[in-house]
Structure 1
Amino acid sequence: MNRTPGEPLGLARFCWVSTFVLLGMMCLFQALNFFKNADMDFRIYYDASMALRTGQDMFAAWNPDSPLTYIYPPFLAILFIPLTLLPLEVAAAVWTVISMILLLGCLWIGAREIMTRFDGAQDLATLPVIILIATLLSLPRIKAEIDQGQVDYLVLMGIIGSLALLRRHPFLAGVVLGLVANIKYQTVIFVPLIIIRGWWSTLFGFILGSIGVAFFGAFVLGWDVNLAYLTESFSSLVLLFGGEPPADAGPMVLPLDWVDSVSLSSTFARWSNVLEWGSGGTYLMIGVSAVLCLGIGWSIYLLTGVSLFHERGGERGRTSARFQGLIALEWIGLLVAVLAFAPQTKMRHLAILVPLMILSAQFLVVKRGSVHRLPLLLATIFCALAMVLPLETVSETFIMGPRETWRANGGVIIPILGMYFVALWVGCRWVQNTSQSQQ
């Protein structure tokens, strides 16, 4: 059947409308729910900001119904201070709208950036199709993120924005990563890649951005108070990986074997407890699995004939058209690694896998010569099912129920890693085929 000129426009409209309706309705319903009850994770940030505004302890447990406290540097709490001028319920509803706008920005910028780096079709219909598919794949996790009033899309916007800036504005890309590191610590994982690649202006931007933003709080809180808060918040990193808590009060940090964490690190900590291997056994399993993942990734580069190090350093490695797709693959790989090996990864944290879903969607939608798409399709379907199945559950924790048991023992993270490695294979194959065709 011959395609009529109106078909791409109609498809584009359908995808845009579907995406906006799905996310808009989710935003509306959750904002209305917050007007009734805003006693979710958002309250942790709200209470910390209110404490800063009133000169009280930011790390205290201000919610009488929950022992959870704020654990991050003061920058995020400072950003939330304007919201404390509103009642809690209204502030939560406003933040819901802001979060959804941030998500739409992540989808738009992320899809355009990934498609550009892989020379994907920038036509009328392809972009909205990819955005809709990525949204559908991420929908359960988006709902979990929005329901809690969390801030992960603020972090994700910085990660995607830094990737978009990296080629032409490397210093600004580093500044953005450094800024986001003062909200949550995930962007620190990009530093080793930046050093290995020799992107020194990006590294300098990261250092300047992270230190500058960290001490920005001194203008709001005073030097001594800001420094004390920074010290306490950074001490939480030690506690996250099983360190001993200090004698004095500070941010409440849950243990590495926390039952709600689905990361491999937490899985291994729970296994180590059962096997009575202690913390040494936990770190051994984490190290072995990390080396295994690095080995799989390196093997994919070798088998596809793609350069992992040769000519990848310095300005050439950052700006050459040959390596743009590889940089996107590695950027997303580090994002996956953060979730896989973090000391605390709840199911809602998987909401920041939007770039992985965009990557998979654009490989599935845009045909790329001899690169087979069926393995990636199967891996994507399995990963999506792994996040929602088994449906049967009888407990809100991992103590009982098949869903909790599945998630507590790597049932979610391992399929995510599998999906990423298949996407890495497809991406490297495409990069190699493109390089050969251009020679």
Structure 2
Amino acid sequence: MLLSLLGAVLMAKAFWAVPVDVQVYRAGGQAVLSGDWLYDRPVTEDLSFTYPPFAALLFVPLAWLTLPVTQALWVLLNSVTLIVVLRRSMRSPQWTHVLPLAGLLMLVEAVHTTVYIGQINLVLLALVLLDLLRPDGARGKGIGLGIAAGIKLTPLIFLLYLVITGRWRAAGTTCAAFATTVLAGFVLLPQSSRAYWLGGVFADASRVYPDQLSTHNQSLRGMLVRLAGAEQPAFLPWLLLSATVIAGTLWLARQVSARGDELLALSLIGLLAAAVSPWSWGHHWVWLVPLSVCLVRRLAQRPLSWWLLPTVLLPATFPWILAIADPPPNMPQRPIPADPVHFLLGNLYLAIFFATLVVVAERLHRAVRVDGETASPVRPGRSAR
């Protein structure tokens, strides 16, 4: 309870934080109104606009507001979105269940930073989760995912999940919605759209952060860069590792979905998106929010189980712990010692992701074995027990 209260205090303090990403969104909207290109120069003093042109169109209303008003509204939006996501994930309308967990999750760096700097990650999470948790065949299922991908490309990986689980109608709707966002960008912002989609801006990770060796990049590519000590990892190892992780996670998510746990399946794909992206800040890992609900649910049933493995790593994402290996972007990078503890902290979100995959695989293996024993016929001369 004390940790939940501390999280609530941190959320309140966000009203006085420096909303660097909201400033970028607002500047993107201002660039649209003034007719400026989005990608030829930084839109703020030192930050570039890295989102598709469609996102800039959505940010236009922010340009009509003062920065303090924009910041306050964005903190409220993120706070409400976190609660909505938790209520849907927990399937509980009781505030006594939702609010303490919301406060506790504010201590997780992914959520804390999203709220403090005014990121859009929680909004994208809500768009995808609320859309894909709807029943199969629901009218318009896939629109939310398509719009989210039009704002930021990483949710597109959920399209693969829809395909391998046979949700062809939702996959088609997603493609149509995403294509509409791209078309809107070309119609209303043709020059910026050509630069983004045809000029390779969408694939340029250096626009996100100049130091490719930084522990701020919590993706597979970031881990390989740091292991190799080179600004660019060898392309083939990165490709092979990413393809293997994608294939394995998709297979696990499909099996989990077939057993009726759609929330866990979607959480795995959301974490996968952050893992295989060329650059993933810590705050990109907000899919830890629905995963936390899955972990709490399972540990409530069996406190001493393999689900403790990813759970015990979550407190290490509290900002003051993670800062040991991942100082804030406005602080100079310190040389990271090569011992296992610092390596773990420098790749903590990946560690949680892989720990979750291991536990899910073990649970599925056990479930399949139990199913096989249950389905086995009783041998003659023996009684069933």
TM-score relative to the length of structure 2: 0.79
User: Is 1:229 the counterpart of 2:192 in the alignment?
Assistant: yes
Match of 2:127 in 1: 158
What SS is found at the alignment partner of 1:139? coil
- Range with greater deviation from structure 2 (53-62 or 397-406): 397-406
Matched residue, 1:62: 43
Superposition TM-score, scaled by structure 1 size: 0.70
Residue range with higher mean Cα deviation, 384-393 or 340-349: 384-393
| Residues 436/228 of structure 1: CA separation in 2 closer, same or farther (3 Å cut) | farther
The answer for the alignment partner of 1:288 in structure 2 is 241
Unpaired segments of 5 or more residues in structure 2? 377-385
Q: Which residue of 2 aligns with 1:11?
A: none
1:42 is aligned to: 22
1:433 is displaced (CA, Å) by 6.3
Say if 2:78 and 2:122, in contact at 8 Å, map to a contact too: yes
Deviation at 1:359, TM superposition (A): 1.0
Q: How does 1:4-153 map to 2 (within 5 A)?
A: 24-31=8-15, 33-34=16-17, 37-38=18-19, 40-59=20-39, 60-64=41-45, 66=46, 68-112=47-91, 128-129=96-97, 132-133=100-101, 136-137=104-105, 139-141=107-109, 142-153=111-122
- Whole-angstrom distance in 2 between the partners of 1:193 and 1:374: 28
Q: Distance in 1 between matches of 2:289 and 2:172?
A: 28
2:203 to 238, 241, 260: 238
Deviations 1:186-208 (A, max 9, x none): 21111222222332211110111
8 A contact 2:53–2:185 mirrored in 1? yes
Aligned 1:172-211 pairs, distance under 5 A: 172-211=140-179
Aligned match of 1:410: 347
> CA–CA distance in 1 between the matches of 2:152 and 2:102?
24
- The range that moved more, 285-294 or 45-54, is 285-294
Picking from 355, 375, 388, the partner of 2:306 is: 375
Cα distance in 2 for residues equivalent to 1:390 and 1:154: 24
Change (3 A) 1:29 1:345: same
1:94 Cα deviation after fit: 1.4
The answer as to whether partners of 2:28 and 2:56 remain within 8 angstroms in 1 is yes
Task: Give the Cα separation in 2 of the matches to 1:61 and 1:111.
Answer: 41
Q: Would the aligned equivalents of 1:138 and 1:351 in 2 still touch at CA under 8 Å?
A: no
Bigger share in helix: 1
Change (3 A) 1:130 1:30: closer
Cα-Cα RMSD: 3.8
Task: Say if 1:362 and 1:61 are closer, same or farther in 2 by CA, change over 3 A.
Answer: same
Counterpart selection for 1:257 from 205, 212, 230: 212
Deviation of 1:329 (Å): 3.1
Question: Structure 1 residues 393 and 157 mapped into 2: Cα distance closer, same or farther (>3 Å)?
Answer: closer
Cα distance per residue 1:225-263 (max 9 Å; x no partner): 5233223233223323x8xxxxxxxxx344693512121
Q: CA deviation at 1:156?
A: 0.3
Q: 2:298 is matched with which residue?
A: 363
For structure 1, the 5+ residue unaligned runs are: 1-14, 113-121, 243-251, 302-306, 313-317
Contact residue 220 and residue 238 of structure 2 kept, 8 A? no
- Separation in 2, partners of 1:426, 1:283: 32
| Counterpart selection for 1:267 from 200, 223, 227 | 223
Change (3 A) 1:289 1:209: closer
| Native 8 Å contact 1:383 1:415 kept in 2 | yes
